[in-house]
Structure 1
Amino acid sequence: MLHYMISSGPRPVAPFSHAVEANGFVFITGQMPTNPDAPDAPLPDGVEAQTRRVMENLRIVLDGVGLGFEHVAMARIYLTQFERDYAAFNAIWPGYFEAGKLPARTTVGVTALAVGALVEIDLVARRG
């Protein structure tokens, strides 16, 4: 197994690797809407802005292991305000993937996330 910490990636909010690779599968740790260039700055306002920041953080990690969103097979999304934010999240999500090639996905409502985030996303990607 390979364990990755991406130097330009978001500062971890807990003890973990940004990604772990095993047998061609790359497991990307759930990312928060923090700014890698200003990790102590306030979070963006609203689920739309936080979703975009999370996706950009995921892009940084994917790039750091030589992959892109086209390699994503599965995603798990966590929303703290599920009923309020689900539609807004869904309006943004497809824009990161090729039309008709969305990854499998599970979205769940949770009571809280680290750093007071509204959204967190983790990914499973595959090389090749």
Structure 2
Amino acid sequence: MSTDAITFHMVENGPTPVAPFSHATESGGFVFVTGQMPDQPGTPGVLPDTIEEQTDNVMSNLSTVLDGLGLGLQDVVMVRVFLTRFQQDYARFNAKYKTYFAEGCLPARTCVGVTGLAYDALVEIDLVVRRPTVS
């Protein structure tokens, strides 16, 4: 659905939303991907135990949304990360996170500790993506 210069995207077979939102919105060549949770499709609220496994699930859910929009992680320009156990998980999260991007091509990023996330998740990540221009 589109309103003026904003397009609201719900990706077929995308992650199950935990609240009323679109998977992504798009305007002016930028795509804003809603924060994704570390559950797997078909198992809302069922989460693995470790920060590494939860990070893998979040990145998989983000990739599903991006793929449904004809984009990929190589198009990401900004990442926001929310960790509920910041001191305990920060280093382990970073070790897993960096494996998703080509060396030297890490997007800008903010990472903050929070007091809680939906499903009592350890991590949530949202993205700002730039749609490549076609020449």
Tell me what 2:32 maps to: 27
Match for residue 44 of structure 2? 39
1:79 to 83, 96, 110: 83
The alignment status of 1:124 with 2:128, answered yes or no, reads yes
> Unpaired runs of 5+ in structure 2?
1-5
Match of 2:53 among 32, 44, 49: 49
Aligned partners of 1:115 and 1:24: how far apart in 2? Answer: 32
Q: Among all aligned residue pairs of Structure 1 and Structure 2, give the percentage whose two residues are the same amino acid.
A: 60
CA distance in 2, matches of 1:105, 1:37: 29
Matches within 5 A, 1:86-125: 86-125=90-129
- TM-score, with structure 1 as normaliser: 0.97
* Structure 1 segments (4+ residues) deviating >4 Å: none
Gaps of 5+ in 1: none
CA RMSD after TM alignment? 0.8
Larger radius of gyration: 2
Aligned residue in 1 for 2:12: 7
AA matched with 1:12: P
Alignment partner of 2:70 out of 53, 66, 73: 66
Count of matched residue positions in the alignment of Structure 1 and Structure 2: 127
Q: Whole-Å Cα distance in 1 between the matches of residues 53 and 127 of structure 2? A: 19
Tell me how far apart the structure 1 counterparts of residues 41 and 14 of structure 2 sit (CA, whole Å).
6
